[in-house]
Every structure is written in C-alpha cells, then in structure tokens.
Amino acid sequence: MNSPEILPDYAIQLKGLQKIYAAKGKMEEKHALKGVNLNIPRGSIFGLLGPNGAGKSTLINIVSGLVNKTAGEVNVWNYDLDKNPREVAAALGVVPQEINMDPFFTPRESMELTAGFFGVPKGERRSDEILEALGLGDKKDAYVRQLSGGMKRRLMVAKAMVHAPPILILDEPTAGVDVELRRQLWEYVKELHARGTTIVLTTHYLEEAQEMCDQIAIINHGEVIACEGTETLLSRMDRKKLIVQPEEAISNIPESIKGLNIERRIDGALVVTYRANETRVMDLLNQIRESGVRIKDLATEEADLEDVFVSMTTDA
C-alpha cells in the first residue's frame, strides 16, 4: 500500500475503457463499453447509475480483474492494472452482483480464509468486529447455506473488507435485500466512508444513488452520459409531469397553452412536462383552466430514469 503522504487524488481513473464481448454461439458480438473516461475522487461515495445492460457490471468486473478489457487504461490507487495487478487487488474490496459462496463454511471460517488469501497477519484480523458491524454477530458459526439472501449479501460485504482496502466497490448491493437489512448495510457503508473508505456502488435505482452518493455518473449503452455532483445532477433533471383529465374530451390543444410542453395522451389526458424548480403547478393549472379546459382529475408524476436519459441525451 502507498504511504499516507502520497495518497492519490483519485481512487479510480479510467481512460478510454472499452469492452467487446466476442460472439459466442447464438450471442452476437457485444460492444459493452465504448470508451469510458471516469475519475472517481478519493473519499467520495460514487454512484454508477444506469439501466440493466448499461455496462455497470462489466466496468466493475474489469476494474476488479474478473473480466479482461479490450482497450483503455485502468488506474486504481495510482497503480496501473496491467503493470501492478496485485497492488490493484489489494486496494479493492469488491462485492460482486452475484452471490457466490461456499455453503459449507461458516461466516467466521469464510472470513478467515479470505483474510489468509490476502495475507492479513492473524494478529491484525478483525473478522468478528466486521461481522458484528454487519449484524452477523450471532451467525458467525452458522453454515452459510442457513443464512437468508440478505445475510449472505452482508457476509459478502464483510469478506470484501477483511484486508481493510481503501476502496469498497458494491455492484447492485440492495438486490434481494429487504428494507431493514438495507438500512443496516447503508449504515455500515456510511461508517466506512466516514472513516475514509472510498465507496463505489452501482444501481439502477435513481433514488438509491440520490440518497447515498455525493457524485453520480450515468451510464447508458456503454457510455457515460453525465458525471456530476448529485445536487447538480438532480437539479438538471428535476422534470415532473402534470397529468390532467379533462371533463369532456378535447380534440385540439387550445392555442393559449400550446406554448407549454404539452401532449395529448391516447386516453385523452393532457400531459404537461415541466421543471419543478422553475414552474409552480398552480400556475400551470390556472393557465389550463383559463384556456377553457375543465379539469376532472389530476395527478403529478416524477420523471423516471428513462425520462432522465432521454432529457440528458437530447439536452447534450
């Protein structure tokens, strides 16, 4: 590990990262990463947000040495993945998307094995402490196969931390984890972060990224389409929808409200997309009323991730 004086500015840096999965059987060749540039600052909780199939796991698996890249550079804690794979591995704790664990070990055994693999001296191991922190204190000697899905996932987080890496990567950490366990997991992650660990997590839930992360990169079809502080990103995509059901069907949108970002849905509802920062719903409603539309029913909706992608890619 590096000495403290030369702590890197960036925990992870990717330059022009590409991945092409070769065609196999009926599967066509897949360009999963199309030249990704990313700088993940040391000390951040960094979210990699994108829909299923965007390339998140491919990116994580390349960084953690499970998948070979096609082109580009990977730098972790100032070490080049090609030149110093062992140093890169030592700097990372990785919790993969898929749970993979030997069912015949107990959590304690599993932790000790991993610690041994990373060469952590016996006197420096903190297996019990980590298991306690993740709410697995009373399961230390149970068999892994007796643990629930959520417990297995937390055990994977525990195993990722045995060698006290400065970076923890979590790939879709809350898949299959119930609300209570999720809260416990986040508490532990926040605690690690407070103690200086850089956290990288992937998710396809905007809300999760929003709640946890101070920076978010959005990835779609193998490309990073936005990378910003969470606040800035959210303010750029504060789109909401106002859905108005008119009393009587209207054949044409009245002239006076055509200037709004307004559409007529197949069921006859009028849908206005607006920015919550700039527009008040009451003002919109008044304009619609004044145009002669009588309102039977109304609702608002948050823009979802799809809308966000659309607005990001069209804005750009």
Q: Which residues bind ligand ADP (CB under 6 A)?
A: 21, 27, 30, 32, 50, 52-58
For residue 156, the minimal CB distance to ligand ADP (Å) is 17
Binding to Mg ion by CB under 5 A, coded x per residue (else -) over 144-183, reads ----------------------------------------
With binding defined as CB under 5 A, does residue 220 bind Mg ion?
no
For residue 179, the minimal CB distance to ligand ADP (Å) is 23
Q: Which listed range, 55-63, 65-73, 105-113, 182-190, lies at the site for Mg ion (CB under 5 A)? A: 55-63
For residue 218, the minimal CB distance to Mg ion (Å) is 15
DSSP state of 254: -
50 binds, among Mg ion, ligand ADP, none (CB under 5 to 8 A by kind): ligand ADP
Tokens of 240: 């909401």
Q: Specify the residue for token string 């629930």.
A: 148
Are the CB atoms for 224 and 190 separated by under 8 Å? no
d(CA 279, CA 248): 26
Question: What residue ranges in the chain does DSSP mark as E strands?
Answer: 10-21, 30-41, 45-49, 71-76, 79-80, 92-95, 167-171, 198-203, 215-220, 223-229, 239-246, 262-264, 270-275, 295-302
Interface pick for Mg ion out of 17, 49, 54, 57 (rule CB under 5 A): 57
- Cα four-point dihedral sign 248, 254, 256, 258: positive
Instruction: CB nearer to ligand ADP: give 182 or 204.
Output: 204
53 binds, among ligand ADP, Mg ion, none (CB under 5 to 8 A by kind): ligand ADP
Instruction: CB nearer to ligand ADP: give 30 or 236.
Output: 30
For residue 68, the minimal CB distance to Mg ion (Å) is 17
Binding to Mg ion by CB under 5 A, coded x per residue (else -) over 91-120, reads ------x-----------------------
Are the CB atoms for 281 and 300 separated by under 8 Å? yes
115 binds, among Mg ion, ligand ADP, none (CB under 5 to 8 A by kind): none
DSSP-derived 3-state class of residue 83: coil
Please provide residue 217's backbone torsions phi and psi, each rounded to the nearest 5 degrees. -110, 135
Whole-angstrom CA distances from 264 to 131, 212, 222, 302 are 55, 37, 34, 18
d(CA 291, CA 312): 31
For residue 225, the minimal CB distance to ligand ADP (Å) is 13
For residue 273, the minimal CB distance to ligand ADP (Å) is 27
With binding defined as CB under 5 A, does residue 75 bind Mg ion?
no
Q: Residues interacting with Mg ion, by CB under 5 A?
A: 56-57, 97
